[in-house]
Amino acid sequence: MNFDERLTNVSIIGAAGKMGSGIALLLAEEMAKSRLKPENKNKRYRLNLLDVNEDALDGLRVYLKSQMVKAGEKSTVLLRELYKDREDLVENYDVIAQFADDALAPLRMGTDINMVKDSKVIFEAILENKNLKVDILKKLNTICAKDTFYLTNTSSIPIHILNNEAKLEGRIIGFHFYNPPAVQRLAELISTDTTTQEVKDFSLELAKRLRKKIVPSNDIAGFIGNGHFLRDGLYALREAKKLSKEYTLPGALYIMNKISQDLLIRPMGIFQLIDYVGVDVFQCISETIDHYIEGEDLKDDLLKKMADKKILGGQRSDGSQKDGFLRYDKGRPAGIYDIDKGEYKMFDPQGWTGDIDKKLGEYPSGFSPWKSLLVDPKKGDKLKAFFQNLKSSNNAGAKLAVAYLKNSKDIGEKLVKSGVAKTPEDVNNVLLNGFYHLYGPINDYI
């Protein structure tokens, strides 16, 4: 069975979730373009979107319709070629509207698992819970054909565990999108010793068609992306606890978030990033990786305390950020959570945050924020010069930032040494493309 034949019937389990909806958008667009090819025009296509939440499925249909219109607007030249035989489609908006309708036509939405029984490829994008994933994969394996491929979006659970417990006989691969899937460039592909070559070939071709930067990761819990992210976040938490003796815990969290964004020149501070992912999701990743990795303590009690208090972060249905470690005002950090008092301590540049900023000291010469350097053709030279100045500075903030950078590099190098990543370039590519860092952690800057 070739690639296009497999693409004629695809299902997504957990389709209305944050990741599932993005995967649905990507597949719906690719399926629409595939079925417009002359050799595929007589084929019947189905994209089955399964979720336990019917209301969320209704919202998913509206979301996909609007996004397909936007996708069509960006691809008018291609669509003109694909619809060249349709004389009734005169204006660009006619072509775009027809494309949106054609993209939605194969969609079948529902809550009954039996609706996916004829699928040739199934994406699993449910909660990051091993037992739940194994349970659903077992059920799918009993109702679907024995040549069905399973692509799991798990971000931390070893693929061989899912394969063995669900008895999938090598027909599963880790296909880890980054959030949001329709925007993020990266796809981590994780195969096991038993993953069939056909599954590998299909996944590689699909990632290419979806225009993703492909990075292979070995089948070790957390893989490359979350393997680095978790340890990076735990380092910040532990440093914050040390600093809390002088600055209080809210002050220390403020410091580590500030230096990880500004002095490491990242798009978000570390606790803002954890909020974006979800404090509960980060905790789940922590407990999952800790369960499978021996010799490291990869959990932190503060995460559990935050989750117990329902301070979870994440996003609302409109994409706006929910409060987590930080409180947000119009999408921007405006306060920090004080877990002892159970309330947010709002930033005060004329008061406590201003006092902390003075203690951290002025930024070294050559500082530019992430957004300014993102499109700067000389960003490599500017980063090198700035980090040299950072290393030479005696400011408290600079010293914390240098230590953070060294630890980030250590994490990256250990991912290679332990066999999670094949090369330093693979580690750097994940952080560059999946987290939008300007530089990889394994570098010569510090």
DSSP string of 215-257, one letter each residue = EEE-SSTTTTHHHHHHHHHHHHHHHHHHHHHHH-HHHHHHHHH
Lowest mean pLDDT among 70-79, 264-273, 339-348, 354-363: 70-79
**What pLDDT does residue 192 have?**
96
**What pLDDT does residue 343 have?**
96
Domain 225-434 classification at class level = mainly alpha
Strands 121-124, 149-152: pairing is parallel
**What pLDDT does residue 255 have?**
98
Q: Does pLDDT of 246 surpass 90?
A: yes
3-state secondary structure of 80: helix
* Closest to 408 in 3D by CA, of 426, 394, 428: 428
Q: Does pLDDT of 36 surpass 90?
A: no
* Closest to 352 in 3D by CA, of 251, 242, 203: 251
- Which is more confident, 186 or 1? 186
Which one of 3.30.70.1290, 3.30.70.270, 3.40.50.720, 3.20.20.30 gives the CATH number of domain 3-217?
A: 3.40.50.720
- Which is more confident, 363 or 40? 363
Lowest mean pLDDT among 177-186, 227-236, 275-284: 177-186
Mean pLDDT taken over the chain: 95
pLDDT in tens, 414-435: 999 999 999 999 999 999 999 9
**What pLDDT does residue 42 have?**
83
Banded model confidence at residue 179, pLDDT cuts 50, 70, 90: confident
**What pLDDT does residue 74 have?**
87
Q: Does pLDDT of 103 surpass 90?
A: no
Q: Does pLDDT of 252 surpass 90?
A: yes
Contacts with 214 (C-beta within 8 Å, 6 or more apart), sequence order: 187, 189, 204, 207, 208
Banded model confidence at residue 394, pLDDT cuts 50, 70, 90: very high
- The DSSP call for residue 114 is G
Strands 186-190, 172-177: pairing is antiparallel
Banded model confidence at residue 41, pLDDT cuts 50, 70, 90: confident
Q: Could you give the CA distance from residue 378 to residue 366 in angstroms, rounded to a whole number? A: 12
**What pLDDT does residue 82 have?**
81
Q: Using the Cα atoms of residue 111, residue 187, residue 229 and residue 286 in order, give the sign of their dihedral.
A: positive
Residue 206 tokens, joined: 């699909």
- Which is more confident, 386 or 82? 386
Banded model confidence at residue 79, pLDDT cuts 50, 70, 90: confident
Would you kindly state where each structural domain of the chain is located, as residue ranges?
3-217, 225-434
Tell me whether the omega of the peptide bond preceding residue 180 falls within 30 degrees of 0, making it cis: yes
3-state secondary structure of 323: coil
* Closest to 150 in 3D by CA, of 186, 106, 194: 194
Q: Does pLDDT of 318 surpass 80?
A: no
